[in-house]
Amino acid sequence: MSSGAGKVVCVTGASGYIASWLVRLLLGRGYTVKASVRDPNDPKKVEHLVKLEGAKDRLHLFKANLLDEGSFDSIVEGCEGVFHTASPFYHDVQDPQVELIDPAVKGTLNVLKSCTKSPSVKRVVLTSSVAAVAYNGKPRTPEVVVDETWFSSPDLCRESKMWYVLSKTLAEEAAWKFAKENHIDMVTINPAMVIGPLLQPTLNTSAEAILKLINGAQTFPNASFGWINVKDVATAHVLAFENPSASGRYVLVERVVHHSEIVRILRELYPTLMLPDKCADDKPYVPIYQVSKEKAKSLGVEFIPFEVSLWVNLGWARSDVGFRSLGDHPFWY
């Protein structure tokens, strides 16, 4: 496809998991991509990007810091679309405000402020999360259907010390307020836990959650999460930019699965794996729930089945080399 031929777009946090696939897809569609990274001279951050097909002629790397106001001005200038994906995602935090909340909220506003200075920008696509959707105190049981009208409660997040969830909730809340006040055409993509093949040489947090199950875990967590393939997430971003009628939020969840079900599927796919056979606690399993796919499908997202995502993630396991540690690159694409 070449629907992006002659068009220039920006991707922030381009070395990240979702963003790397987004850059690959945009280049494949003919776009010229202005990509921001924290350190363009770090091979671990950019080598996988500069090797992408089309990168030599149509990928331009820029240094930018989320917390430096104005650092995105020159990157956004001349772009028709801005894809803001940059936001930290990890669980082991010492200072939530500094490590998660400030980069998410202030970083998002800094990018949006840069967009207001460039008349070329027609639409902003913001990578939010289902974290900003599903945590509002309402029960999430098998008969419940979560959709785009749900918004997470910042107060609940603070009380429960769900700092990543709080960062994404506050960032999206601030983005919508700023976009409406400044007449920015913005769409948000709200994916669940993202898995699928990696382009970058480091593990993302979602994939690590799966790999821990095969790397000697004695138990599996008593937790239920939504899952989505990274290729579907990247595709949704591009569709949200290219489709003139796209608007509002798009929640991306192929399926909500309890960790016991993940273990069961892995055991069927790979019978020789040493997998945990008991839950981390004796409490009733955290229930699963439903997430509406209606709006995402209307955008054109087709949803790769969860089992396929797992199979692709762990396809390397069939090799004669055996299993590698979490520090190694485990995926093929």
Which residues participate in catalysis according to the annotation? 168
CA distances from 224 to 18, 192, 212, 253, 256 (A): 22, 11, 16, 12, 7
Q: In what order do the strands lie in the sheet with 32-37?
A: 59-63, 32-37, 8-12, 81-84, 123-127, 186-191, 248-252
Would you list the DSSP string of 185-227?
A: -EEEEEE-EEES--SSSS--HHHHHHHGGGTT-SSB-S-EEEE
- Residue 323: how many CA atoms within 13 Å on its side-chain side? 15
The number of helix segments (H) and strand segments (E) in the chain equals 13, 12
Residue 291 backbone class (left: φ over 0; alpha: ψ -120 to 50; beta: rest): beta
Residue 218, φ and ψ in degrees, nearest 5: -85, -25
Q: Are 231 and 21 in contact (CB under 8 A)?
A: yes
Residue 63, φ and ψ in degrees, nearest 5: -90, 130
Rg (CA), the chain: 19
Fill in the amino acid letter for 101.
I
DSSP secondary-structure letter at 279? B
Strands (E), the chain: 8-12, 32-37, 59-63, 81-84, 123-127, 145-146, 186-191, 193-195, 224-229, 248-252, 255-258, 290-291
